[in-house]
Structure 1
Amino acid sequence: MTRAQQTISIGLLVTSLPLWALVSFGAFLLFRLGWNVMTFHDVPEAHKELMTEIDLAKAELRGLGVDVD
């Protein structure tokens, strides 16, 4: 292997590392997203709070004359 071939090979290796880092990071994020979706737990308190906020918003809109049903 000549010195030029060696330099080109090392250059290609170094320039391909950011691409591999980006692909690996994306795969890791997709895995984390899938895992969190699979292990999602319902939170009854958050559901009650959200329903209360929805009822409050409906009451405010009715007060302004908007039909929400």
Structure 2
Amino acid sequence: MLTAERNRLGAAPEVAHKELQAHIRWLERRIAGLDTDLDQAIRTSPAWRAEENLLRSVPGVGPIVARTLLA
């Protein structure tokens, strides 16, 4: 949704830019909050931590892919 809003911003009339920029900022804050919540959940759960470590042991799987798969 964030990418879609960023793409819309480029094609939207100038009058809509302020509202779209506000929505983009809201989405960015919400995503950051969810990332923090997921990080906290993984750090406090031995089972999730083990799953993340296992996923990250696979070549090419970094923190973003591992967290995406866990989510």
TM-score range, shorter chain: 0.3 to 0.5
Name the TM-score, length of structure 1 as normaliser.
0.43
Name the TM-score, length of structure 2 as normaliser.
0.42
Using CA pairs below 8 Å that are at least 6 residues apart, which structure has the higher relative contact order?
A: 2
